[in-house]
Amino acid sequence: MLHTARFYINLTMDEAYLIERNLGITLDQLKPMVERNFYGITAWVIKKYGIRLFFVIDFVKLLNKSSIEESDYDKAERKIEEFILFLFRDSSFINRICMTRIDYRLDAQIPTEERELLLFLFRKTTSKHRHQKKDLKYKTTLYFNSNSVISCVYDKELEAKEQRGKVEWYEDSVLRLEARILNQHLKYKKYRKGKEKSLREYFKNELFREYMMKYFGEILFSGHYYKITRVRTILNKSQLKDSEKEKLLLFLCEISKHGFDYVESKYSTYYRKKFLKQLNSLNINPILIPKGRKSPSFVKNPFQF
């Protein structure tokens, strides 16, 4: 699901003055004027190294729906055209829009206790993924940062309470996965892969699923969450050899005790992939619920990639 996107248009001095004349305001008053007329769009002008109009679109607010699909593109485009006409009285400016960031999100509504447990478990995953590095300095948010893509998992309800003091209907009880695709990545995709830096291109459901799998499926894994006792029961009912069951149990216990980095250094790529494949076939997440934690022995994975 699409969340937000950021754009800019380079302007001449006369074009910047055109906004002021059309709206009867100064450029410093642009932000509140736009917010009053276009719910979901934030706009401002920066005069540095030329003049540039920036605007950010929150598609949930713009379209007044929480699940943004590829079929919503035409409606979103019409609203952007209305915004451009509002500023310039000239629709041709829409052809000069440059997109510099797009954020995808995947939300799951789950109780507070489960959100806390899942955030605790997610912290045990690998410290590096592709060119990203894990950041654990925030208790309720897990980041994987790079210069081109930022992946984060966070308690959206708690964040909304802390930042705004209120929770919107689409944020209630939400644990969110968010992939922030930055300009460096968009430029790489354009010049190396031939993918246009356009909203239409990145509005596609297929691309959303690709980014979710690439930046979350490979670090949070599939499968449900269990305590070790429940895993033993599942393994005992499986067709695996006894020796394979013992190796899998050891693999899981070492992740639970030391974190995923430990098994990445201890096990070869072959064995890590083999064990993860076996666990996936049994629908078991490799990150166990600690047996001493006061929580259920089973928690359904809210994110299936």
- Does residue 234 sit in the same domain as residue 206? no
pLDDT tens profile 129-154: 888 999 988 888 999 999 999 999 99
- Does residue 136 sit in the same domain as residue 68? no
Chain mean pLDDT for the chain: 94
**Percentage above 70 pLDDT, the chain:** 100
CATH number reported for the structural domain that contains residue 156 in this entry: 3.30.310
Contact yes or no for 132/142 (Cβ under 8 A): no
- Does residue 85 sit in the same domain as residue 134? no
- Does residue 109 sit in the same domain as residue 89? no
The structure's pTM equals 0.92
Q: Which of 60, 80, 96 is the last residue of a domain?
A: 96
Average pLDDT over residues 29-48: 95
Q: Which of 166, 198, 220 is the last residue of a domain?
A: 220
Is residue 285 included in any domain, yes or no? yes
Is residue 305 included in any domain, yes or no? no
CATH number reported for the structural domain that contains residue 12 in this entry: 3.30.1370
Task: Report how many domains make up the chain.
Answer: 3
- pLDDT of 139: 83
Q: Which of 64, 96, 128 is the last residue of a domain?
A: 96
pLDDT tens profile 182-228: 999 999 999 999 999 999 999 999 999 999 999 999 899 999 999 99
Is residue 304 included in any domain, yes or no? no
Q: Which domain holds residue 167?
A: 102-220
- Does residue 175 sit in the same domain as residue 274? no
- Does residue 216 sit in the same domain as residue 237? no
Is the per-residue pLDDT at 1 higher than 90? no
Average pLDDT over residues 30-49: 94
- pLDDT of 218: 86
